[in-house]
Amino acid sequence: MVRLKDRYLLVNIIYTDVPPGQAKGGAVPDLLLYNQPTTSELRPQLLLKGIRSEVAALFGDCGAGAIDRSLQVKYLSPATSTFILRISRAHYRLVWAALAFMSRVPVRDGRPCVFRVVRVSGTVRKVEEEAVRRARLLVLAAKDEMAGNRGSSAADALGALLRSDSSSQARSVAVPGGQVDSEPEAESQGLSSDDG
Amino acid sequence: MLYDLNIVWSPGTPAADLERTLKFAKNLGYDVVALNHIIAGPIPTQPTPIPNPIPQLTPPHPSYPGGASTSTSSSSSTTNPSTTASTSLPPLSKSSSSSALPTTLRRATLVITDPSITNYRLPDYARAYDLLALRPTSDKSFAWACTSTSEAPALISLDLASHLGWHVHHRAAMAAVQRGVRFEICYSQALTPQGGVDGMRQRVNFIGNVQALIRATKGRGVVISSEARGVLGLRAPADVVNLMAVWGLGPEKGFAALGEGARAVVVNEGVKRRGFRGVVDIVRPAEGGEEVRRGDGEGEGEGGDGGKAGKKQKQQQKQQGQKRRNEGGGGGGSQQGEVSKRQAKKMKKEGSQAKA
């Protein structure tokens, strides 16, 4: 039995400015500035619509048709500005490229932001674990930031996490067909190719 | 280590905006960025040491002069001639700001239309800035930048969002890569188009030009940078690599273009500015330098009679493993230790024969 193979993308929405309503009194710490909550107007349908239209703008009807059936929002958390997408494995790069080209939250008068793909995986379980891990680290780092001790361990851990993510992603992205990798981070790649 | 060798800077850029952009770059994972000053139009002949208006926000990169030592005095040794630099520094405490900011380099991009009038100023610009890039706008100037500049620029940065009007040929491109020139792809040119029909054309042009460049160089000698005009022009490294993968540059080559390729440019340029003609360089002074100097002084003072002093000096030198046999050898030429290579070989041979 042939299975449909998917990729799951864990995406963060990063903001770079304070929301327009708030006063610019005190300086916001960088950590909290980048990880602001998204407006609750952002529904999964709106997100899908935004991504679809961006794919259509970049890749035309051909690309939009390719991802039309398989694109799905598995999880959307406006509080942590995180969402998980599911796309077929053959076309996940199209969606990823479209995310790189989106510069606003896809709602009416959306704020400018950057969509950052932090994890690509073959199974939804690994992506969920990663999302939970990141959220926990973020909370710890934010607590430290509020406590006022800069350069403390949790903030360093988060920095190290972001760094190692980009490098481990390098490795897992570099494996196009999902070959088994010895790295534990790239386990998901192996999982997806096991039962093919 | 990831590099972003192009963040647009102009004298009108507010320091707060610049700082935000740099911090965001650091947050996304870029460790070294270059502030880019684009110089268009005819190049002035007048100011002889060309002033560098870009502020030096962080201590220089380790491979540049003054960057090797991490002490605070290093930044003062490579001050730029302009006086505005120190005033435009953000009024943050030094320790906190330097850890949040990536290492910044100062780069100039010269827009070149007529190659004949710019060539003689290139070394001056190369001296004033940390990196020198050329942006040729015509077929002729492109060929000139690729093959016949007096000294190879670090980067060739084409304006990929415009219609180039000529073909990038494989032979010219690879000749440039052989000289050590790298081609730069600035993804932000495609990300932030002006709206309307023009904006659409920009993106189309960009994609077409990127693919032409990748085809001409076969993915070798390509460096990816942002040319971000603000915070929102930056993207995370993995996203950029994916974009390039969609457009035909493989993910491995894409990551190399962000990491090793860009690092090669930076280190190369640093060595060019630090060492003598980019070839001879002082890595670090030898250990025990004080003692050697004292020994040399003795040799100079008593070199004439060459008695005990000469012997002592020789022993000292031998201890330090230095080959300076001829220096004090006037007096005590015939010593036990002095065996010529031929003699030693002979003795060794005899010894082995005797054993057999």
Question: Inter-chain contact B241–A170, Cβ cutoff 8 Å?
Answer: yes
Task: Count CB-CB contacts under 10 A for residue A31.
Answer: 17
Give the whole-angstrom CA distance, residue A46 versus residue A40. 11
Show residues of chain A in contact with B24, CB under 8 Å: 16, 34
Contacts of A187 (CB under 8 A, 6+ apart): A126, A181
pLDDT in tens, B25-69: 888 888 888 888 888 877 776 776 777 788 777 777 777 776 654
Q: Specify the pLDDT at position A83.
A: 92
User: In this predicted structure, what is the pLDDT of residue B55?
Assistant: 79
Strand, helix or coil for residue B269: helix
Residue A9 pLDDT greater than 90, yes or no: yes
Residues facing residue B155 across a β-bridge: B133, B182
Nearest CA in chain B to A15: B232
Chain B residues within 8 Å of chain A (Cβ atoms):
2, 20, 23-24, 27-29, 96, 99-100, 190-192, 231-232, 234-243, 245-246, 251-252, 255
B39 or A52, which is more confident? A52
B356: which 2 tokens? Answer: 């057999």
Whole-number Å distance between alpha carbons of B157 and A158 = 35
In the predicted model, what is the mean pLDDT of residues A20-41? 74
How many Å apart are CA B4 and CA B259, to the nearest integer?
9
Strand partners, A15: none
> Which domains, from first to last, does chain A contain?
6-20+29-174 (3.30.70.3250)
ipTM, 2 dp:
0.76
The answer to whether B246 contacts A116, with C-beta atoms less than 8 Å apart, is no
Instruction: Give B149's contacts (C-beta < 8 A, 6+ positions apart).
Output: B119, B122, B134
Cross-chain CB nearest to B251 (options A99, A162, A173): A173
DSSP B280-296: B----PPTTHHHHHHHH
pLDDT digits (tens, 9 = 90+) for B167-182: 888 888 898 888 888 9
CATH topology of domain B3-69+91-274: TIM Barrel (3.20.20)
User: Which of B206, B226, B239 should one mutate to test binding to chain A, selecting the residue with the greatest count of A CBs within 10 A?
Assistant: B239
User: Domain limits of chain B?
Assistant: 3-69+91-274
- Return the half-sphere exposure (C-beta side, CA atoms, 13 A cut-off) of residue B182: 26
3-state SS class at A12? strand
Q: B104-146, pLDDT tens digit by residue?
A: 888 888 888 877 766 677 778 888 888 888 888 888 888 888 8
Other C-beta atoms closer than 10 Å to the C-beta of B42 total 10
Q: Are strands B131-136 and B103-112 parallel, antiparallel or unpaired?
A: parallel
SS3 content of chain B, % helix, strand, coil (to 5): 45, 15, 40
